[in-house]
Amino acid sequence: MSAVLEINPTQEVAGAPAIAASLKEASVKFGAFTAIDRLSIDIEEGAFYTILGPSGCGKSTMLRLVSDLIPAASGEVSIFGKPTEEARIAREFAFVFQDAALLPWRTALQNVELPLEIGRKRGIKLPVSDKTPTELLELVGLKGRENALPSELSGGMRQRVAIARALVCQPKLLLMDEPFGALDEMTRDHLNLQLLKIWKETGVTVLFVTHSIPEAVFLGQKVMMLQAHPGRLREIVDIDLPEDRTIELRDTQEFTKYSAYLRKILETC
Ligand SMILES: Nc1ncnc2c1ncn2[C@@H]1O[C@H](COP(=O)(O)OP(=O)(O)OP(=O)(O)O)[C@@H](O)[C@H]1O
C-alpha cells in the first residue's frame, strides 16, 4: 500500500526538543505478572500524544506509573527531569480520569477551586494557573454554569469541569485516561475540538489514552501504540496533519490513511 509510505513510524526525534517525561527501560509488575516490560520513551514537551493498544496492554498502567500512583519494578521514570514523586508534589502534572469524580455538593466553580483550597489548608504553596477558576471554566466552554451542581450538568459538562480543575495548578503535563470514553459521539467530537484549543492555548504536554482510532488520529501529533502480553512499545506514528483540525478532517484521504495504518498494526498487537 504505497500511500502508507508517507506515514512516518519512528521513534527518532529530530533536533533536541525538551523532554516532559522520560521512561527508561521501565517495567511494572503486579506480583509475578509483568504489565509493562522495559518501556523506553521520551515524551516531547508541548506535544500531544495519544496512546492506543489492545485491552490490557498497559495504557492505564503507563499513566499510573508516570503519575507516581504505582512504582516501577525496574528502570527509571522522570518528569521534567525530576523523580515522579517530586514532580507530583510540585504539581507538575495533573490527571483526568474517565469518571469526572466531582464532589456532588460543590458547584462547578467550587470543584475547580478545590485543589487550591486543599493546598491552602495544608499550607502548601502550589503553582497557580494564570487564569482564574472562573476563566478556566470559560476556557472549557462552561461560562454561565459556574454555580451549577454536578447533578445539574451533563456527562460532557462534568468532564469539562474535571479538565478545568486539572488545569488550576498550571500543570505542564496533562495525563488523560479515556476522559471522553463514556460520552456520545457528538459530545466527544465537541470536546475533542475544545481540548485541542486548550492544548494550544496553554502549551501543556498531553498524554491521552483512548480506545478510538479516529480519536487518536484526530487529537494526536504522535500516536503511541502499545502491544500486549507483556505491555511493550510497539511503534510511534507521527501524525502529519494540519495543526488547525476541524471535524471535516476526518473525511479526508490522509485521515483515513492514518486510521487504516493504525488499525492494521493494532490487529497484530
Ligand atoms: N492492580 C492490579 N493488579 C493486578 N493486575 C493489574 C492491576 N492493574 C492492572 N493489572 C493488569 O495489568 C494489565 C494492564 O492493565 P491496564 O489497565 O493498564 O490495561 P489497559 O491497556 O489500560 O486496558 P484497557 O484498554 O482494557 O483499559 C492487565 O492485564 C491488567 O489485568
pLDDT at 5 over 80: no
What strand order describes the sheet that includes 93-96? Answer: 8-9, 232-238, 222-227, 48-52, 205-209, 173-177, 93-96
**Residue located nearest, by CA, to atom 5 of ligand 1:** 30
Mean pLDDT of the chain, nearest integer: 90
Identify which has the larger pLDDT, 153 or 120. Answer: 153
**Separation between Cα atoms, residue 206 and residue 175, nearest integer Å:** 6
> Which pLDDT score, from 0 to 100, does residue 126 have?
82
- By most ligand atoms within 8 Å of CB, the mutation choice from 27, 28, 30 for ligand 1 is 30
Grid cell locating 10: 519512528
**Separation between Cα atoms, residue 202 and residue 197, nearest integer Å:** 9
Answer yes or no: CATH 3.40.50.300 is held by domain 19-267: yes
Ligand 1 atom nearest to CA at 177:
22
- Contact by Cβ (8 Å): 237, 261: yes
Share of the chain above pLDDT 70, in %: 94
pLDDT at 80 over 90: yes
Q: What is the residue extent of each domain of the chain?
A: 19-267
Is any atom of ligand 1 closer than 6 Å to the C-beta of 22?
Answer: no
Cα(151) to ligand 1 centroid in Å equals 30
**Residue located nearest, by CA, to atom 12 of ligand 1:** 35
> Which pLDDT score, from 0 to 100, does residue 59 have?
95
Ligand 1 atom nearest to CA at 211:
25
* Assembly ipTM: 0.97
- Work out the pLDDT band at 3, boundaries 50, 70, 90: very low
Q: pTM of the full predicted structure? A: 0.90
**Per-residue pLDDT tens for 52-63?**
999 999 999 999
